[in-house]
Amino acid sequence: MRDAIYRAVEPDISIIIVSYNTRAMTLECIRSVLAQTTTVLHEVIVFDNASTDGSPEAIRANFPQIELIASRENLGFAGANNIAAMRARGRRFLLLNPDTVILNHAIDRLHEFADANPRLGIWGGRTVLSDGRLNPGSCWGDATLWSIFCFATGLTNLKRSSAVFNPEGYGGWKRDSIRAVDIVTGCFLLIDRELWKQLDGFDPEFFMYGEEADLCRRARKLGACPTITPAATIIHYGQSSEPDQAEQRIKVLAGRITLLRHHNSAATILAGKMLYMMLPLLRLIAYGTAGLVSGRSDFREKARDWRHVWQHRQRWVNGWNSIGVRSARGNLRNTVSDEIAAVERPSGDALSRSRQG
């Protein structure tokens, strides 16, 4: 009866979870969402990106009350969220990673914060690791040539790195105060439905990584003010769907260079690309030399990882391209018609609802 009422009434929040080979974590995430979200009227939509670990079957078996979209092809983070948002009915959309756990009614708290500050348009919370230590990845600052230089040369990795050398990470801020930020990351991002529609969702050129930075930049131009509140705290494990660090770095670089191309002048793009190309070379040289001198196997392994990133630079050096996307998907299909056909199409009512708002 309760589920029927939820379907009949427009929810306050549509919680969208995009999963990819994270079965156990996805189940834990959904379980925490249902247990911890008690005051805000909500719906849960899970988009599974062609997982091969039995995720769709496990989700259906354990949570028949939620909506599951089981894609036959990996459409990436941006594409999957865009399709799921077409079915969403809430006045706000919450983008939530599957490798998260809701703590202390965090979604309820974030909804309350949004209601108290409706003009912000985009809201985020605080993320911690499973042991309670801060995971600073809930938000970032915009990438600049200086921040890219610090990232490429490793200055951002220095212990106690200040805001000077770690501007994208906001230095030593512990995310323990309300603060406007440049970018709320897609692991825990609440956005007004109308703003999402104005932005036309994520730019589909971003297969993954960088799409929320692009979204927040475009949203700020429309007057939004992405803001973090510590009242809403979740666990975010991170990097769960990409165990191969070298492959994950390739995708991050593809996203960062795509973002660079979308929002900067030709001169800045050229300088930024040169810095990004320096990044794997500097680390390859540093770890290779350290491994040779010390004999440590971990240094040699890191050197091999960075060699892989450099050798596969055609997949990232110009941002997301057909080569990078096909590799990330694990197959050769890469057309819009294939993407649309690969997904269980929304019903006519759902499509009509998405067009009408």
Average pLDDT for 64-89? 96
Note the Cα 169 to chain centre separation in Å. Answer: 16
Which range, of 57-71, 72-86, 324-338, averages the lowest pLDDT?
324-338
pLDDT digit string, tens, across residues 134-172: 999 999 999 999 999 999 999 988 766 577 888 999 878
Is the dihedral angle over the CA atoms 205, 209, 212, 213 positive or is it negative? Answer: negative
Question: Which pair of structure tokens corresponds to residue 219?
Answer: 């949203």
pLDDT of 330 > 50? The answer is yes
Return d(Cα 81, Cα 62) in angstroms, integer.
22
Question: Which residues 6+ apart lie within 8 Å of 181 measured at CB?
Answer: 124, 139, 140, 141, 170, 226, 227, 228
pLDDT of 353 > 60? The answer is no
Average pLDDT for 16-34? 96
Predicted pLDDT at 243:
67
Per DSSP bridges, beta strands 139-140 and 183-184 are antiparallel
Nearest by Cα to 60 from 27, 13, 22: 27
Q: How far apart are the first and last CA of the chain?
A: 27
pLDDT digit string, tens, across residues 274-302: 999 999 999 999 999 999 999 999 999 99
Banded pLDDT at 334 (limits 50, 70, 90):
very low
Return d(Cα 265, Cα 305) in angstroms, integer.
31
Average pLDDT for 241-249? 81
Nearest by Cα to 136 from 163, 101, 171: 171
* CATH fold label, 2-241: Spore Coat Polysaccharide Biosynthesis Protein SpsA; Chain A (3.90.550)
Predicted pLDDT at 343:
39
The pTM is what?
0.87
Amino acid identity at 309: V
Return d(Cα 190, Cα 180) in angstroms, integer.
14
pLDDT of 354 > 50? The answer is no
Predicted pLDDT at 350:
36
pLDDT digit string, tens, across residues 196-210: 999 999 999 999 999
Return d(Cα 133, Cα 143) in angstroms, integer.
25
Specify the residue for token string 């703003």: 195
Which range, of 126-130, 217-221, 257-261, 320-324, averages the lowest pLDDT?
320-324
348 neighbors 230 (Cβ within 8 angstroms): no
Question: Which residues 6+ apart lie within 8 Å of 130 measured at CB?
Answer: 235, 237
Average pLDDT for 102-127? 98
Domain boundaries, the chain: 2-241, 245-336
Specify the residue for token string 């990436």: 76
